[in-house]
């Protein structure tokens, strides 16, 4: 499955095409094999197959992904970031603190399906876009995992993956989430971190916020449709309003979760990349660009 695009996105290193499921999963598999050499990674092909079915609309129960922001490229970007963070943690904390191969597989699987709640069921007459489920997509995604994983032989990791995806909900504090072990909580913190890093570091992050994310918010009732006369009842009144409030999300919500709620797990990217953290570098560049967007313009 290769997603056609006029300007195909690549990962933070510029080496992996994010529209190519096979390329991303091959890189993920290589990372897992290098850091958990005794693991059985045959399930990666099963996960890839289910992902392709769901996101291309070939699954008998679901329409394909029609979300413009939480799209296939974003999900694969998060999955690759998750594998790198897990590997970085293994390098930093080997031995008794390490994840076993089963947890590592669950980490990748939860990343690959963390936004599956945006997929719309066939026969859905209520909404014409999966983006309408923005407010409930995490819960819906967990339900999809519990239902679909056992059907493809992944019963063993379904419960943990269904719990882990809740770490991507920015409206839930991680300490209030249900987990079965300290290791599972730490894995969830990595998933929440990967989700934020991949979004904020994307080179087109600001453009996607202004266009694709705003469109998703309109579909969910969180933003006013363009040219609305009285948009007061919506959380976001216009595309410009969303951009003006983006620093509050980046520095307030996302920054707080990355640094405090997830205990600075983003540092594991530095371990993986041998001291550098290209995610943080790209985020800093996006923040500088956002400042330019919001800077007062001199009068004409």
> How far apart are alpha carbons 20 and 77 in whole angstroms?
11
Q: Which helix (H) or strand (E) holds 283?
A: helix 278-294
Which band of pLDDT confidence, cut at 50, 70 and 90, is reported for residue 296? confident
Q: Spell out the domain ranges in the chain.
A: 21-294
> How far apart are alpha carbons 108 and 95 in whole angstroms?
21
Among residues 109, 88, 124, 117, the alpha carbon closest in space to that of 273 is found at 88
Residue with tokens 């529209």: 19
What the block records as the tokens of 13 is 């290193």
Residue 125: helix, strand or coil by DSSP? coil
Among residues 196, 178, 165, 172, the alpha carbon closest in space to that of 258 is found at 196
Whole-number pLDDT of residue 3: 46
238-249 pLDDT, tens per residue?
999 999 999 999
pTM of the model: 0.95
Whole-number pLDDT of residue 4: 46
Q: What angle do CA 69, 75, 77 make, to 5 degrees?
A: 100
> How far apart are alpha carbons 239 and 85 in whole angstroms?
33
66-117 pLDDT, tens per residue?
999 999 999 999 999 999 999 999 999 988 889 999 999 999 999 999 999 9
161-187 pLDDT, tens per residue?
999 999 999 999 999 999 999 999 999
Architecture of domain 21-294: Orthogonal Bundle (1.10)
């Amino acid at each position: 499955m290769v997603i056609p695009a006029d300007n195909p996105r690549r990962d933070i290193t510029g080496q992996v095409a994010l529209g190519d499921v096979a390329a991303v999963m091959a890189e993920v598999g290589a990372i897992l094999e290098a850091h958990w050499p005794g693991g059985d990674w045959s399930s990666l092909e099963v996960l890839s197959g289910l992902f392709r079915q769901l996101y291309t609309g070939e699954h008998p129960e679901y329409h394909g992904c029609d979300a413009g922001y939480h799209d296939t490229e974003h999900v694969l970007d998060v999955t690759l970031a998750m594998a790198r963070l897990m590997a970085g943690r293994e390098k930093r904390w080997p031995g008794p603190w390490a994840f076993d191969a089963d947890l590592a597989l669950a980490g990748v699987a939860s990343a690959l399906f963390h936004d599956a709640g945006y997929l719309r069921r066939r026969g859905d007459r209520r909404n014409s876009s999966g983006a309408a489920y923005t407010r409930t997509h995490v819960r819906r995604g967990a339900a999809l995992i519990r239902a679909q994983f056992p059907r493809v032989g992944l019963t063993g990791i379904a419960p943990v993956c269904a719990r882990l995806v809740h770490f991507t909900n920015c409206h839930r504090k991680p300490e209030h989430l249900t987990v079965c072990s300290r290791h599972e909580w730490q894995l969830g913190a990595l998933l929440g971190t990967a989700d934020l890093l991949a979004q904020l570091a994307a080179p087109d992050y600001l453009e996607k916020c202004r266009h694709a994310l705003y469109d998703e918010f309109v579909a969910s009732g969180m933003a006013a449709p363009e040219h609305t006369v009285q948009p007061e009842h919506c959380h976001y009144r216009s595309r410009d309003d969303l951009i003006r409030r983006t620093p509050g999300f980046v520095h307030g919500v996302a920054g707080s979760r990355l640094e405090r709620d997830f205990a600075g797990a983003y540092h594991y990217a530095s371990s993986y990349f041998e001291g550098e953290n290209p995610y943080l570098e790209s985020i800093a560049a996006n923040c500088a660009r956002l400042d330019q967007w919001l800077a007062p313009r001199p009068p004409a």
